[in-house]
Amino acid sequence: MRVNPDMSGDVLSAIWQTQNQENTALQQMSTGKRVNQPSDDPLAAAQMVGNQDHSNRTDQYLQNIDTLTSQLQTADGALSSVVQALTQAITLGVQGTTGTLSAGNRQQIVENLQGIQSQLVQLANTSVGGSYLFGGTLTTAPPYVLNSSSPSGVTYIGNSGTNRVQVADGLNLQTNLPGNQLFQNAGGDVFGALQQLITSLQSGSAAAAGTATNQLRSAFDFITGQRIFYGNAVNQLTSTQSFLQQEQVTLKSQANNLVGADITKAATDLTKAATAHDAALAAAAKILPTSLLDYLK
């Protein structure tokens, strides 16, 4: 049987093929990726788009959590100061209700209470990065302004709006309580009670001061109750954060499964390909130069 006398084509193709295998293995090892372009594994490349988006999204959620945690902690810190100020105001109120005070002492207490009032206004106007935390969704201006003609001594210019921020897929966390709900609620009106206490002390009515002090107590209870909202939110963020960090790990390993190279396998492939390449070259070196002419004298 006559065989193809020209082996150069087959030999070259064998050399190219083994070289190509070497290149593939080398590329996998150097990039650490099995899929370097969509055609290497179209399905994996397409799934990587989703994986990448999921991972980006998770990164962003984690950033959101950092931002929100600091916002919520600032708000909680402000409320904690409010609670302290209220404790002080209640003590002053109790002093004020004792009928044995001189007008001068009462005036002293009133001035102290007015100091507390302006401190509370300041706390209710706490802002983070120019955004006021207790103004509802009107966050660009201080929500509370002192107003002596108002029965509560202040005017609230915020609104009752609340915001929710997505911190995980399907989890939108409420991130604020509007000031009117916190400080001027029917269950406890901080500013109203304080103003009333000041007014009754100024007018010298111990009974009215007693009522106002009681109102301050219920405002104290209410605010303390509301602080749970912030505590809960921070707790929820913390647990979401650890969930998301876990998710990041899962996504990374999923990405690695999708497009990552098995380095051990790539190294083995490289060795195999190198051996095959050597063999092809050796065979070429042996076969190509031989000819009948070598044996004719």
Partner 1 sequence: MPGLNTSLSIAVQALQAEQGALSVTTNNISNVNTPGYSRQVATLNESPTFHENGTTFGGGVTLEQFQSVRDQLLQLRLYEETQQQSNSETQFNSLTQIEGIFSDPTQGVGGALSAFFNSLSQLSTNPTDANARQQVLTAANNLANQFHQAVTGLQTIQSGLDQAVPQTVDQINRLTTQIAKLNGQVVQMQGLGQDPGTIQDQRDELIRQLSGMVNISVTQTEHGLTLTTANGVPLVVANQSFDLKSGTGSGSTLQDVFSAQGQEITTQIRGGQLGGTLQVRDQVIPQVLSQLDTLASQFANSFNTKHQAGFDASGNPGGNFFTPPAAVAGAAAGFAVAITDPRLIAASSDGSVGSNGNLAQLLAIRAQQLPSGASPMDMYSNLVLQVGNLGANAQANVTASNLSVRQITDQRSSVSGVSLDEETTNMIRFQRAYQAGARVVTTVDSMFDTLMNMGVVG
Which residues make up the interface to partner 1 (CB under 8 A)? 2-6, 9-10, 13, 36-43, 45-53, 56-57, 59-61, 63-64, 67-68, 71, 128-132, 135-140, 159, 161, 163-166, 169, 172, 175, 291-293, 296
Q: Residue 130 Cβ, how far from partner 1 at the closest point, in Å? A: 7
C-alpha to C-alpha distance for 258 and 20, rounded to whole angstroms: 22
Q: Which is nearer to partner 1, 87 or 131 (CB)?
A: 131
Q: Residue 258 Cβ, how far from partner 1 at the closest point, in Å? A: 10
C-alpha to C-alpha distance for 212 and 93, rounded to whole angstroms: 8
Q: Residue 137 Cβ, how far from partner 1 at the closest point, in Å? A: 4
Q: Which is nearer to partner 1, 39 or 100 (CB)?
A: 39
Structure tokens at 257: 């499964």
Q: Which is nearer to partner 1, 172 or 203 (CB)?
A: 172
Q: Which is nearer to partner 1, 212 or 251 (CB)?
A: 251
Structure tokens at 138: 């009107």
Q: Residue 159 Cβ, how far from partner 1 at the closest point, in Å? A: 6
Collapsing DSSP to helix, strand or coil, 279 comes out as: helix
C-alpha to C-alpha distance for 194 and 213, rounded to whole angstroms: 8
Question: 212 with 200: CB under 8 angstroms?
Answer: yes
Q: Which is nearer to partner 1, 99 or 129 (CB)?
A: 129
Q: Which is nearer to partner 1, 156 or 222 (CB)?
A: 156
Q: Residue 49 Cβ, how far from partner 1 at the closest point, in Å? A: 4
Q: Residue 182 Cβ, how far from partner 1 at the closest point, in Å? A: 16
Long-range CB contacts (< 8 A, 24+ apart) of 82-85?
Answer: 82/120, 82/123, 82/124, 82/183, 82/190, 82/223, 83/220, 83/223, 83/224, 83/227, 85/116, 85/119, 85/120, 85/123
Closest of 3, 1, 26, 2 to residue 277, by C-alpha: 26
